[in-house]
């Protein structure tokens, strides 16, 4: 173990913890004791600071109940759960929805429960680790295609065995690149080759579409998605995740998804918060629009300065700097200048594509973002990065 740690250190791959807590000003954090503009959280609507109030007695009771005491199937099924899941299914336009303890648990549990080892899964190379692990758990054959290479995906679909089922699984917004899945094409391929389509809306739920319903809804394609997954710890400012879909799908997961059956349910207080924040998020179309406008201006200024933001088209904006060492040097300099700018290295991203991942939120004021941009651009010039 010690030698592995040493090796990781030499390669610039050792990770370490720094204490982080909310600062008084929304959009700012105190990190390692220093006040920093928070350009790293997934709190896209600023709802982590939301102080919801409610006159609803069920929600009030749930807000005060901090332990579920058991799994859902035993005595952990507080009435706030069906209330939340009904609201979620209504927003998503699905027959039903099911809450999981985390996005990691939702993806691994769902894929392992649905996909059999006789099936083939088609997975974008940049899909989240929880999807990769879920496919591994299922034991299915996997065809990984290069990011957005739909030609390669189609070829793989054509050549796949006709015996088992086919599953196309993709992030809606890719977490480290800020790119958006080509949903229209994926839906066409799904129908043409008789595949199921699972969409992970971790970074798009609450952020895209009318009422923040998600990317599938933004493209009016929701009825073509068989399994709609999303998280509650990002734009919804709470914790947990969900799967939305047909009633039979949800009933199947309640019997077979091991990460749902064999775990203590989320505390009712967390679920109540998810419900209130979901309701709040549904009313934030204006904030969603401003967020994407700010992201566009942020990207354009970085690109105008000759910096590489990849193909981002969302609130997630990577600044690609190549080596791990470059990412570490830039991260340290930006943090010293008051920005929570975190280096992202392999295995989170492919080797040679280390980056700083900036994420913008509705809590940011443009003056602060402009100041951050000036700092980022001058620091990159000083360090001779990306020019």
Residues 181-200 binding ligand PMP (CB under 6 A) are 200
DSSP secondary structure string, 100-112? ES-HHHHHHHHHH
Instruction: Rank residues 72 and 128 by Cβ distance to ligand PMP and give the closer one.
Output: 128
- Out of 38, 85, 124, 171, the only residue in the binding site for ligand PMP (CB under 6 A) is 171
Q: What is the CA radius of gyration of the chain?
A: 21
Q: Shortest approach of ligand PMP to residue 201 CB, angstroms?
A: 8
- Out of 160, 170, 179, 231, the only residue in the binding site for ligand PMP (CB under 6 A) is 231
Q: Does residue 130 bind ligand PMP (CB under 6 A)? A: yes
Instruction: Rank residues 171 and 368 by Cβ distance to ligand PMP and give the closer one.
Output: 171
Q: Look at the alpha carbons of 226, 185, 92, 65 in this order and tell me if their dihedral is positive or negative.
A: positive
Site string for ligand PMP, 234-253 (x = CB under 6 A): -------x------------
| 368, 375 contact by CB (below 8 A) | no
Q: Does residue 273 bind ligand PMP (CB under 6 A)? A: no
- Out of 99, 123, 175, 294, the only residue in the binding site for ligand PMP (CB under 6 A) is 175
Residue appearing with tokens 């609507």: 45
DSSP secondary structure string, 156-207? HHHHS-SSS-EEEEEESB-TTT--B--HHHHHHHHHHTT-EEEEE-TTTTTT
- Out of 46, 206, 233, 386, the only residue in the binding site for ligand PMP (CB under 6 A) is 233
Distance from C-alpha of 108 to C-alpha of 119, rounded to nearest angstrom: 16
Phi, psi values for residue 321, rounded to 5°: -130, 5
Instruction: Rank residues 168 and 333 by Cβ distance to ligand PMP and give the closer one.
Output: 168
Residues 75-114 binding ligand PMP (CB under 6 A) are 102-104, 107
Of the candidates 190, 225, 189, 187, the one whose C-alpha atom is nearest the C-alpha of residue 205 is 225
Interface contacts to ligand PMP, rule CB under 6 A: 102-104, 107, 128, 130, 171, 175, 200, 202-203, 231, 233, 241
């Amino acid at each position: 173990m010690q030698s592995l740690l040493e090796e990781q250190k030499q390669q610039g791959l050792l990770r370490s913890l720094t204490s982080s807590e909310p600062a008084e000003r929304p959009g700012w954090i105190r990190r390692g004791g220093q006040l920093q503009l928070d350009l790293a959280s997934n709190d896209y609507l600023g709802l982590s600071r939301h102080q919801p109030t409610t006159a609803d007695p069920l929600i009030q009771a749930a807000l005060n109940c901090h332990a579920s005491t058991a799994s859902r199937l035993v005595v952990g099924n507080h009435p706030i759960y069906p209330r939340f899941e009904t609201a979620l299914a209504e927003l998503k336009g699905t027959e039903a929805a099911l809450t999981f303890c985390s996005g990691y648990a939702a993806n691994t549990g769902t894929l392992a429960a649905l996909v059999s080892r006789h099936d083939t899964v088609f997975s974008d190379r940049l899909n989240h680790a929880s999807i990769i692990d879920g496919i591994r758990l299922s034991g299915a054959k996997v065809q990984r295609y290069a990011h957005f290479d739909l030609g390669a995906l189609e070829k793989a679909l054509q050549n796949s065995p006709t015996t088992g089922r086919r599953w196309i699984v993709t992030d809606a917004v890719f977490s480290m690149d800020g790119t958006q899945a080509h949903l229209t094409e994926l839906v066409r391929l799904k129908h043409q080759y008789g595949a199921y389509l699972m969409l992970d809306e971790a970074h798009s739920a609450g952020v895209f579409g009318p009422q923040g319903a998600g990317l599938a809804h933004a493209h009016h394609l929701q009825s073509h998605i068989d399994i709609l997954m999303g998280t509650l710890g990002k734009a919804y400012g709470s914790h947990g995740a969900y799967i939305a879909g047909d009633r039979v799908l949800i009933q199947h997961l309640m019997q077979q998804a091991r990460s749902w059956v064999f775990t203590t349910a989320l505390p009712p207080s967390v679920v109540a918060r998810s419900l209130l924040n979901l309701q709040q998020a549904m009313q934030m179309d204006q904030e969603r629009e401003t967020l994407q406008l700010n992201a566009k201006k942020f990207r354009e200024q970085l690109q105008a300065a000759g910096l590489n933001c990849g193909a981002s088209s969302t609130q997630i904006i990577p600044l690609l700097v190549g080596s791990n060492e470059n990412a570490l040097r830039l991260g340290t300099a930006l943090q010293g200048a008051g920005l929570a700018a975190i280096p992202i290295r392999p295995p989170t991203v492919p080797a040679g594509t280390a980056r700083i991942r900036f994420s913008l939120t509705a809590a940011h004021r443009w003056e602060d973002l402009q100041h951050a941009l000036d700092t980022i651009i001058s620091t990159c010039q000083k360090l001779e990065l990306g020019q």
